[in-house]
Amino acid sequence: MIGRYANPVIAGMHPDPSICRVGEHYYLACSSFEYFPGVPIFHSLDLVHWELIGNALDRPSQLPLDNAPSSGGVYAPTLRHYDGRFWLITSNVPHGGTLLVTSTDPAGPWSEPRALPGVQGIDPDLAWDDDGNCWCTFAGIEQVRIDPATGAALSRPRRIWSGTPGTQWPEAPHLYKVGDLWYLLIAEGGTERGHGISVARGPSPNGPFEPCPGNPILTHRSTDQPIQNTGHGDLVQAHDGSWWMVFLGIRPRGGTPGWHVLGRETFLAPVAWVDGWPVVDDVSPEMQADLLPQHPFPEPPARDDFDGADLHPRWISVRSRPGATWSLKDRPGWLTLHGRGGSLDDPAVSFVGRRQEHLSCRVRTLIDASAGRGGLAVRLDEQHHYEIEAGDGEICVRVRIGPVVQWRTARPEPTGPVVLRIETQASGPSPDHPRQEPDVVRLGFESSDGRFVVLDELDGRYLSTEVAGGFTGRVIGMYAAAGTVRFDWLSYDPTPDPP
């Protein structure tokens, strides 16, 4: 069925996608870095529409992140289905090493992690040969045979292929058997503008490997494409026999160098096989392809009223979420946060947020800060965040950009709970000048008649990867800086981008 779909298929900070198929069902995992719970798991019936069904690492025993720096933590999982089980291998950087978890249900629960001390590299992959041997290939590109039941290495690491000579950062390997040959897909060039995907093939899972003469098979380096940094892909054969690739990319905006604020997102492209090599279709925001029958999921509610017994899997916290710091029961129908860090500068801040998924959006929350101080924030890391904060009798805008901290504006706090609001407005796709910002961020509160009182309007470039560095994207959410702060609801609504 020839149809159209929009890229990205999973928006917001969902990089390093890994995909597997079970019958007519598709499952996908992404990196999560310093956020808890970790490794979001998505489900699809058509490769275009995806539903978040859980997080693989959702217990503190699975995911210790207390010592993880921003943009540390969980890197590049590989998700596979073998022998009736789901297998997920990933790395907890820098102190957790390589770990492996399994489950019979991708929505969880997943097992306690098994350590793999013989795998000394990020981006680990799993592949089983016809004899049942399990091969783990990782950034370098090196490979070791392992016992997945125990995590023990059964051979010494061996370098098998490192991509295009002279190209930096060979990583993100994935092995597949297609027909009688084994294909090794890797990313190279670094995850910035030079990113790309190359492939080689050989007679066995450990080679020897012959590189594709058309490498890289996907890259947008040195182009004016609106999607950039394309790389770190994974192949899947659909149940109708067609082939597809999921991969990461970004959507930069503004002038030079082009700032991306949402992080690296998950994109989809059809793949053809030509002379025994995979050929990736041109990648654009609007794609036309021979699609599987479409199975969209219901749109998630724009507003969370915190009426459930637990938080939805979309809600993430910074490094941990100890039970003593939050509750849905203290005041039923409200999310209660107890302060444990004085501000978002603190690595242990009490924070519950969700990934920003749209270039332009409106986020609102009803807050009761009568017993504390807290608010609504846009976070990239400890040194780059904007927040609108209530408490101590006033509403303030606080800005952290690198070593500079500034309280920008303040107003007396209205009596009783108040609606705090943040809006982002993307710049146009064609910048007006070379230094144009990627977007503006407006912070304020709503008056009793619902009018948006804007306390400050800030340049969005300072909450971008090009300024802050690292691998993450924006997360917007609620926090407590002191005392006890309660939130009745939070709504997230996309708004139109400039034409």
Show which residues are catalytic.
16, 171
What residue ranges in 258-403 does DSSP mark as E strands? 265-274, 277-280, 286-290, 303-304, 317-318, 326-327, 335-338, 350-355, 361-381, 384-391, 394-401
Helix (H, G, I), strand (E, B) or coil at 310: coil
Answer for the pair 40, 87: CB distance below 8 angstroms, yes or no.
no
Place of tokens 């981006």: 123
According to DSSP, residue 276 is labeled: T
Which of 298, 325, 326 lies closest to 311 in space, CA to CA? Answer: 326
d(C-alpha 485, C-alpha 341), whole Å:
13
According to DSSP, residue 10 is labeled: B
d(C-alpha 37, C-alpha 32), whole Å:
8
Place of tokens 């304020």: 444
CA dihedral sign, ordered 213, 214, 215, 217: negative
Answer for the pair 27, 41: CB distance below 8 angstroms, yes or no.
yes
Structure tokens belonging to residue 230:
């394309």
Cα 81 to Cα 15, 54, 156: the distances in Å are 20, 17, 25
In the beta sheet, which residues pair with residue 359?
A: none
Q: Cα-flanking dihedrals φ and ψ of residue 139, to 5°?
A: -55, 135
Q: Is 197 left (phi over 0), alpha (psi -120 to 50) or beta?
A: beta
Q: Give me the torsion for CA of 363, 369, 374, 377, rounded to 10°.
A: 10
